[in-house]
Amino acid sequence: MNANRRQFLKVASLSAMALSSGMSTLCASEALAQIAPGRYEKGEKTRKAKRWAMVIDTRKFSGEKDYAPLIEACHKAHNVPNIPGDKNIKWFWLDSYEHTFPDDMNAHMSQKIAKAVYPLLCNHCTNPPCVRVCPTQATYKMEDGIVAMDYHRCIGCRFCMAGCPYGARSFNFSDPRKHLPDPVPNPTFPTRMIGVVEKCTFCAERLAVGKLPACVEASMGKILFGDLNDPESTVCKALASNYSIRRKPNLGTQPGVYYLI
């Protein structure tokens, strides 16, 4: 073996070792630190709160047609597909009083209330069972009370769907992109992939750029959104001066969505 060849082999094996061991990642650690969580700061326009909450004034809605623009706004903003059948994706949807508040039914209640439809969405609970059961922290609670999801970490075990007492979670039984138009309604919001769970995000991505949630914006003041920890917020004032109910309050989850009836 001549000297040149030996030299080449030495260099080659050393560099192979450096590449395969952690040495190369040491060099990249600076770049990694720059994208690590915690380095992010909230933008100037970001709406901030200690505990986001929603108050839906159901008295101001007269039926399904009043809710239709809200559903459309939500589903367009988040590229939510409409899949016929029992494997649908639901972020913001309507149901009867009986199904929305099953513990609050009686046969003699006001027909107007009993016959009306009510909007349903993720309650962004203070004690969310979905976060408790998720084995990968793909569902987590943010510091402002929003229950958020990492679609890239979700393994699709659907424990959160069993855990959620509100049926607020949907699983992508098929490829959702097949049910969306091309181009998608909102190219700035990611579409999901097959095999992961998804749900309403309280529009965390819109709050981050200073906008209100899509449904709130489309409701023209009929849905209030604000900080529960701020007594001066519109939600606190509305709750203080009106009778409100929440879905299944006896389970101790402390939903963040209130209904004025």
Partner 1 sequence: MLEKLLSGPKTYYLWLLFLCGVIACCGLVYINQLLNGLGITGMNRDVSWGLYISQFTYFVGVAASAVMLVLPAYFHHYVKFKRMIIFGEFMAVAAVVMCALFIVVDLGQPQRMMNVMLHPTPNSVMFYDMIVLIGYLCLNIVIGWVTLEAERHQVNPPKWIKPLVYLSIIWAFSIHTVTAFLYAGIPGRHYWLTAIMAARFLSSAFCSGPAILLLLILLVRRLTGFDPGKEAIKTLTTIITYTMCINVFFYLLEIFTSFYSNIPGHMEPIRFLFCGHGGHMAWVSYFMWAAVGMAFLSLAILIPPQTRTGSLMPFALIILVIASWIDKGLGLLIGGFTPNMYEDVTPYMPTLQEIAVALGVYAIGALVLSLLWKIALGVKRDVGNFCD
Interface residue list for partner 1 (CB under 8 A): 85-88, 90, 95, 98-100, 102, 129, 131-138, 153-159, 161-167, 170-175, 193-197, 248, 251-253
Could you tell me the smallest distance in angstroms from the CB atom of residue 176 to partner 1? 10
Which phi and psi (to 5°) does residue 233 adopt?
-70, 155
Q: Which C-beta is closer to partner 1: that of 43 or that of 102?
A: 102
Longest dimension (CA), the chain: 99
Q: Which C-beta is closer to partner 1: that of 157 or that of 239?
A: 157
Name 156's Cβ contacts closer than 8 Å, sequence gap at least 6.
171, 172, 195, 196, 197
Q: Which C-beta is closer to partner 1: that of 134 or that of 236?
A: 134
Could you tell me the smallest distance in angstroms from the CB atom of residue 184 to partner 1? 19
Q: Which C-beta is closer to partner 1: that of 18 or that of 105?
A: 105
Could you tell me the smallest distance in angstroms from the CB atom of residue 175 to partner 1? 7
Question: Which amino acid is present at 40?
Answer: Y
Could you tell me the smallest distance in angstroms from the CB atom of residue 222 to partner 1? 23
Which phi and psi (to 5°) does residue 117 adopt?
-105, 155
Which phi and psi (to 5°) does residue 187 adopt?
-65, -15
Torsion region of 179: left, alpha or beta (phi above 0 gives left; psi -120 to 50 gives alpha): alpha
Helical H runs in 55-107? 64-77, 97-100
Q: Which C-beta is closer to partner 1: that of 11 or that of 105?
A: 105
Could you tell me the smallest distance in angstroms from the CB atom of residue 177 to partner 1? 12
- CB-based contact 93:119 (threshold 8 Å): yes
